[in-house]
Amino acid sequence: MFAKRFSDLNPYIPGEQPKDRVYIKLNANENPYPPSPEVDKVLKEFNADQFRLYPDPDSNELRNAIAGMLGNGVTSEMVFAGNGSDEVLSFVFYTFFDDDAPLYFPEHTYSFYPVYSDYYGIPYKKIPLKKDFSIDISAMLDGRSSGIIFANPNAPTGIYMPLSDIRSILDSYPADRVVVVDEAYIDFGGESAIPLLKEYKNLVIIRTFSKSFCFAGARLGFMIANPELVDAVFTTKNSFNHFPVDALTQKIGVASCGDSKYYKEICNKISKTRDDFSSQLRDAGWEVLPSMANFVFVRKEGLDGEKIYNAVKSRGILIRYFNKPGISDYVRITIGKPEDMKTLFEIMQGIVS
C-alpha cells in the first residue's frame, strides 16, 4: 500500500502540546506576548469575502514591507516569504544542496536540518560543537562540503556567533556554494548578517515571524538573499508546492512590519527576563550557557535532563530535554513572562533540594 520511499521517512518531532491540563508552555520557544495591536486592527477590519480569491502568489506587498522594515539595502527582490521558515528552509534545501558532497551543520542544531536532508537525499555531516558548545568554524571549513547551514544564535544552545566569524566563514568558503544562516532568534540580542549580503552573493539568511513577532500560530517566515537566489527558490516553490502565504497572514505580516517598535520593545523585555533568570539560576548553582536567544540551555550536575523535565511537567510547566549523547543532561527553557520564570525557578529550586 505504501511507496518504498515512505518507509524511509524520519519525521521531525515538534514540541509537545498535551491537553490533560493547563500548562505554562516553555517548550517551543514561542513568544509569551501578543502580536502588535496593528494585527488586531487588521483582524477586526478583515472582510471574509476576501477568502473567495486566491492570495497574491508572490506576496509582493509583504515582501516590500519586510524589505522596508529591514533597511540595509534590502529590496523586495531579495526577499522570499513562505508558510513559516520551515517551509522556506525546505525550499532552500531542495534548491541549493546537492548529493555529490555532504551538507555540513553543527552536531547540535535545529533538528529539522537532518530531516530535510534525509527527505531530499542530501548527504550530511554533523560537525561536533567545541567544548564550550560554540560552533567549530575550522571543522566546518574543511573544503569538502556542498553547503553549510547553522542557526545563529544556535539552537538549542542559544550561543551566538559574532558577525566577524560569519565573515571569516564567507571569506574562506567557495563563492559557488551556499552558506545559510538561520536567524530565527536574532532579534533577541544578536547582530544580523544582513549587511554582509552586499559583499557575499552566496549568503542566504532565514528569518521567522514565529519567535520575535509572536506569529507561531500564523505561519510566516522568509529568506533574504541576492535576487538570483530568491528567483531560484521561487522556481522550486512553483515546481512542487506553489501554495503562497494565505491572504490574512500576508496582511498581518505587513501590519507588523509597520510596528517594529512594538516588537523591539517585547524582544528587549524577553532578553531582560532571560538575563535575570540566567543570573538567578547561576547563583543557585545551575550551569547556564550564555544565550542570545529567547531560551536558555541549562543543567545541574548530577541531574538528568529527562528527570528535570518530568519533575517540572508534574508541576504544570513544559520545558524540553534532548535524548542525545552530549546534551542529555541539559534542558532547554523558553523565556516566558517574568511571573512564569519566577514559578519555574521555585520549582527548579525544589528539585535540587
Ligand X SMILES: Cc1ncc(COP(=O)(O)O)c(C=O)c1O
Contacts with ligand X, residue ranges (CB under 6 A): 29, 84-86, 110, 151, 155, 182, 184, 208, 210, 216, 221
Tell me the C-alpha distance between 252 and 43, whole Å.
8
Tell me the C-alpha distance between 273 and 345, whole Å.
12
C-beta closer to ligand X: residue 59 or 208: 208
Tell me the C-alpha distance between 304 and 349, whole Å.
15
**Among 349, 279, 280, CA closest to 308:** 349
DSSP letter for each residue of 115-166: HHHHHHT--EEEEPPPTTS---HHHHTSS--SEEEEESS-TTT-PPPPHHHH
Q: Hey, what's the cell of 85? A: 521558515
- Grid coordinates 539552537 are at which residue? 155
Distant-in-sequence contacts of 9-18, Cβ < 8 A, 24+ apart: 9/118, 9/119, 10/114, 10/115, 10/118, 11/115, 12/111, 12/112, 12/115, 13/111, 15/318, 15/320, 16/318, 18/318
Q: How far is the CB of 216 from ligand X (least distance, A)?
A: 6
The DSSP 8-state label assigned to residue 72 in this structure reads T
Q: How far is the CB of 84 from ligand X (least distance, A)?
A: 3
- Grid coordinates 556542498 are at which residue? 146
Fill in the amino acid letter for 344: L
Q: How far is the CB of 246 from ligand X (least distance, A)?
A: 15
**Among 160, 156, 157, CA closest to 111:** 156
Q: Which residues partner with 223 through β-bridges? A: 80, 206
Integer CA distances (angstroms), 333 to 16, 43, 319, 352, in order: 14, 31, 5, 17
Tell me the C-alpha distance between 353 and 53, whole Å.
60
C-beta closer to ligand X: residue 34 or 285: 34
Torsion sign, CA atoms 160, 191, 267, 247: negative
- Of the CA atoms within 13 Å of residue 209, those in its CB half-sphere come to 29
